Amino acid sequence: MGEARNVFDRFTAAMTRGDIDEVASLYAEEAVALSPDGELRGSKDIVEYLRPFTEAFSDFRWEPLYSHEDGSSALDEGWICGVHTGPLPGPDGQPVPATGKSIRVRECDAVTVEGGFITSHRFYYDQMELLGQLGLMSG
């Protein structure tokens, strides 16, 4: 296992424990992330984007489907799962109160690691699927 896989696995473990301080320690200060909500610049902004997920889903967990590492890059595909037990920012920025509903949303992450820190992180998940599973979309 190379450095990229090691750092990324530590990230995943910290997210599932809800250890946002450990998550923060894994990002380079100047890291950049691309999420369905747009680009995030700097470790502080990235961590503040991730924090609500660890707070809104009491049993946040990751079900892996596929992992890959190549040099300084690692990729994970799988499912993010949990029960919505706390507020979560909605698409309009307003908090969505806990629904008590379970989610299982397909997701893919790709990271680049340099010097033991994540310098680039790309999150891919379907926001409409997440909102639908929370019962926030009429269909």
Q: What is the pLDDT of residues 113-133, one digit of tens each?
A: 999 999 999 999 998 899 899
Tell the residue number behind the tokens 């090691």, with chain if given.
Answer: 6
| Domain chopping of the chain, boundaries | 3-133
Pull the structure tokens for residue 103.
């989610």
| Domain 3-133: CATH class, spelled out | alpha beta
Q: What is the pLDDT of residues 31-45, one digit of tens each?
A: 999 999 899 999 999
Q: What is the pLDDT of residues 8-31, one digit of tens each?
A: 999 999 999 999 999 999 999 999
Name the strand (E) or helix (H) holding 129.
helix 127-133
Report how far residue 80's alpha carbon sits from residue 36's, in angstroms, rounded to the nearest whole number: 15
Those residues whose C-beta lies under 8 Å from the C-beta of residue 29, and which sit 6 or more positions away, are 42, 43
Report how far residue 39's alpha carbon sits from residue 19's, in angstroms, rounded to the nearest whole number: 23
